[in-house]
């Protein structure tokens, strides 16, 4: 415990400024936080805070005033209670891979970074669950399970860096969502620190828990219901075998028809990913996989299950691809070849990094059968705004990810990206889809909420949020348009919210 940090902690200029101007004794908050997490568990110098001023949604920025790194649930709870006492907004952050500004600290305040809480607390293979801390990197759990015959099924593209806590906050999907479902299908229960600091347990390792489905509604709350500090996640048996194929099509239309027919046939591939012409060129430039540069679309198709069943499924898939004018099909015959095929998909984002200083990965959903229309619209939008847009996405569930290339140093380009994104998302709605498949609303899409939902819907959601987060002090300005309320805290306006204009 640090009793008097005025001697040991050098206050930074911005914090000192606030001390002068503000109504809140910031130095005492820092001192008390250091008392909770230790001196090595806190940052408050402006240059150090810069790292935390944005997440994967780089078009909007807002730095926190203080960052803490708790190592226990009790530290999280004590931090949250202190923020309440000081009436300072706070929010959690895992790896900061959110693509919708989910961990953008609007209005500043305290950021609670969970990356030091990354242990597996229990592995129970017999009953098929693991209890993990929220800062555990998604892939690290699956790596820890290697050799046991089990894995953790949700696998976002960022699984090498994103955390389980962040996955729970956004109800993340991934390439294997089509067959295995999204995060909520794999969370059996959780421990959370509510926005007032209370520690609660929701759900549990037994699949069926009586009463209302509180852990179900908790998943996907985008940080607005408090901070998940432990997760009980379902483990999935490794499939006995895989068959992985890359199918090269001349046109998006052919590829889309093949997808619809594969699914209509009753086959649920474990993954069905599409890369369009633009991304094929980018991946090819970067990694030389040997894709034909004039191809319209490449499908990565994977089926898994019992060895004995797979060849029949592959035959049907090949037949359907042939019927839809496939140009060529590569099949992985060894685990190494499978990894190489997956590398072309998983490294697509790396390839984009070579094309452009910045990119914005959008997230929309359309009914599977409307994929050609939305892709054509994206191409028109690209031309209209003079922005290069490439596409790599989960075609099986109609979840498109147009990637808009730009230079974030140019404010004009940021504006174009925001406008083009909005037009594409509007079109998704028009085609009967949705403005987010898996990235969440965050701060990015908050203004879409009132276009998707009516007032009763939004009021009900607000009431649900207010159960957990009545003061709206936790993860402010996320998911729902903010309503001014007598309960809202007077926030520390260190960094006035620079909100996306859409």
Q: Is 465 in the site for a second copy (CB under 8 A)?
A: yes
Mapped onto helix, strand or coil, the DSSP state of residue 60 is coil
Rounded Cα distance, 100 and 327, in Å:
37
Min dist. Cβ of residue 154 to a second copy (A): 13
Contact window for a second copy (CB under 8 A) among 135-143, 344-352, 457-465, 482-490: 457-465
Min dist. Cβ of residue 304 to a second copy (A): 12
CB atoms within 10 A of CB 45: 14
Min dist. Cβ of residue 217 to a second copy (A): 4
Rounded Cα distance, 462 and 464, in Å:
5
Q: What is the size of the binding site for a second copy (CB under 8 A)?
A: 69
For a second copy, the binding residues in 70-99 under the rule CB under 8 A are none
Q: Is 1 in the site for a second copy (CB under 8 A)?
A: no
Contact window for a second copy (CB under 8 A) among 39-47, 138-146, 345-353, 449-457: 449-457
* 249 neighbors 326 (Cβ within 8 angstroms): yes
Min dist. Cβ of residue 365 to a second copy (A): 6
Min dist. Cβ of residue 264 to a second copy (A): 8
Binding mask 250-289 for a second copy (x = CB under 8 A): --------------x-x-----------------------
Cα distances from 89 to residues 52, 467, 484, in angstroms, run 15, 17, 15
Q: Is 456 in the site for a second copy (CB under 8 A)?
A: yes
Give ∠ CA 381-362-443 in degrees, rounded to 5.
120
Question: Which residues share a beta bridge with 202?
Answer: 190
Q: Is 461 in the site for a second copy (CB under 8 A)?
A: yes
Q: Which of 325, 452, 497, 502 binds a second copy (CB under 8 A)?
A: 452
Rounded Cα distance, 213 and 328, in Å:
47
Q: Edge-to-edge, what's the strand order for the sheet holding 227-234?
A: 120-124, 129-132, 227-234, 187-193, 199-203
Min dist. Cβ of residue 225 to a second copy (A): 9
Nearer to a second copy, 200 or 416 (CB): 200
Nearer to a second copy, 17 or 213 (CB): 213
Q: Is 182 in the site for a second copy (CB under 8 A)?
A: yes
Following DSSP, what letter does each residue of 147-203 receive, concatenated? Answer: TTTEE-----TTTTT-BHHHHHHHT---TTHHHH--GGGGEEEEEEE-TTS-EEEEE
Min dist. Cβ of residue 302 to a second copy (A): 16
Nearer to a second copy, 15 or 473 (CB): 473
Nearer to a second copy, 70 or 173 (CB): 173
Min dist. Cβ of residue 394 to a second copy (A): 11
Q: Which of 305, 327, 388, 423 binds a second copy (CB under 8 A)?
A: 305
Contact window for a second copy (CB under 8 A) among 152-160, 233-241, 273-281, 341-349: 233-241
Nearer to a second copy, 65 or 155 (CB): 155
Rounded Cα distance, 408 and 415, in Å:
10
Say what the alpha-carbon torsion angle 390, 395, 401, 402 is, to the nearest 10 degrees: 30
Q: Which of 365, 392, 400, 492 binds a second copy (CB under 8 A)?
A: 365
Angle, helix 335-346 to helix 277-287, in steps of 10 degrees: 120
**Residue 370, Cβ density class (10 Å: 0-12 exposed, 13-18 middle, ≥19 buried):** buried
Nearest to 187 by CA among 162, 166, 161, 211: 166
Nearer to a second copy, 56 or 433 (CB): 433
Q: Is 127 in the site for a second copy (CB under 8 A)?
A: yes
Min dist. Cβ of residue 424 to a second copy (A): 15
Q: Kindly state the DSSP code that residue 487 receives in the 8-state scheme.
A: T
Rounded Cα distance, 148 and 359, in Å:
38
For a second copy, the binding residues in 415-434 under the rule CB under 8 A are 432-434
Q: Is 441 in the site for a second copy (CB under 8 A)?
A: yes
b/e map 322-343, b = 16+ CB within 10 Å:
eebebeebbebeeeeebebbbe
Question: Which residues share a beta bridge with 236?
Answer: 151
Binding mask 153-172 for a second copy (x = CB under 8 A): ------------------x-
Say what the alpha-carbon torsion angle 151, 157, 162, 163 is, to the nearest 10 degrees: -30
Cα distances from 380 to residues 335, 384, 413, in angstroms, run 39, 6, 17
Nearest to 318 by CA among 356, 253, 269: 269
For a second copy, the binding residues in 183-212 under the rule CB under 8 A are 184-185, 198, 200-202, 206-212
Q: Which of 46, 139, 309, 340 binds a second copy (CB under 8 A)?
A: 309
Nearer to a second copy, 126 or 288 (CB): 126
- Please give the residue ranges that form the binding site for a second copy (CB under 8 A): 126-127, 149, 171, 173, 182, 184-185, 198, 200-202, 206-214, 216-217, 219-221, 237-238, 240, 264, 266, 305-306, 308-309, 311-313, 365, 367-369, 397, 399, 432-438, 440-441, 445, 448-449, 452-453, 456-457, 460-461, 463-465, 467-468, 479-480
């Amino acid at each position: 415990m640090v009793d008097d940090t005025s001697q040991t902690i050098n206050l930074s200029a911005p914090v000192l400024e606030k001390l002068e101007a503000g109504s809140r004794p910031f130095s005492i908050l820092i001192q008390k936080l250091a008392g909770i997490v230790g001196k090595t568990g806190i940052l408050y110098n402006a240059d150090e805070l810069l790292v935390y001023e944005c997440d994967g949604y780089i078009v909007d920025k807002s730095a926190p005033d203080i960052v803490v790194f708790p190592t226990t649930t009790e530290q999280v709870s004590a931090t949250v209670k202190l923020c309440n006492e000081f009436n300072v907004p706070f929010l959690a952050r895992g790896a900061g891979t959110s693509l919708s500004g989910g961990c953008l600290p609007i209005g500043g305040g305290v950021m609670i970074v969970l990356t030091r809480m990354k242990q597996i607390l229990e592995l129970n293979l017999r009953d098929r669950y693991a209890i993990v801390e929220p800062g555990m990197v998604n892939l690290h759990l699956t790596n820890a399970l290697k050799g046991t015959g089990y894995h953790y099924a949700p696998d976002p593209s960022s699984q090498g860096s994103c955390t389980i806590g962040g996955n729970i906050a956004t109800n993340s999907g991934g390439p294997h969502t089509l067959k295995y479902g999204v995060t909520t299908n794999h969370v059996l229960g959780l421990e959370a620190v509510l926005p007032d600091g209370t520690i609660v347990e929701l759900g549990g390792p037994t699949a069926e828990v009586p009463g209302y489905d509180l852990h179900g509604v908790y998943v996907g709350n985008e940080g607005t219901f408090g901070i998940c500090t432990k997760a009980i996640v379902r483990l999935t048996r490794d499939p006995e075998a895989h068959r992985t194929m890359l199918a090269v099509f001349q046109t998006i239309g052919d590829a889309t028809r093949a997808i619809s027919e594969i699914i209509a046939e009753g086959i649920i591939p474990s993954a069905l990913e599409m890369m369009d012409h633009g991304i094929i060129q980018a991946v090819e430039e970067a990694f030389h996989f040997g894709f034909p540069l004039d191809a319209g679309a490449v499908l990565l198709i994977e089926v898994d299950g019992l060895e004995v069943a797979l060849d029949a499924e592959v035959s049907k898939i090949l037949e359907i691809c042939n019927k839809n004018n496939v140009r060529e099909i590569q099949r992985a015959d060894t685990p190494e070849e499978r990894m190489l095929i997956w590398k072309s998909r998983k490294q697509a984002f790396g390839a984009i990094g070579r094309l452009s200083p910045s990119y914005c990965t959008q997230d929309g959903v359309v009914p599977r059968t409307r994929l050609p229309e939305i892709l054509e619209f994206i191409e028109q939008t690209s031309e209209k705004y003079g922005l290069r847009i490439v596409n790599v996405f989960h075609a099986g569930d109609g979840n498109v990810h147009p990637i808009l290339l730009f230079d974030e140093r140019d404010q004009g380009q940021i504006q174009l990206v925001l406008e083009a994104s909005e037009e594409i998302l509007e079109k998704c709605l028009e085609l009967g889809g949705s403005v987010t498949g898996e990235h969440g609303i965050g701060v990015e899409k908050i203004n879409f909420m009132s276009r998707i939902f009516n007032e009763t819907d939004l009021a009900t959601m607000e009431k649900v949020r207010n159960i957990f987060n009545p003061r709206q002090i936790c993860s402010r300005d996320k998911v729902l348009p903010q309503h001014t309320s007598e309960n809202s805290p007077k926030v520390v306006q260190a960094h006035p919210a620079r909100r996306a204009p859409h």
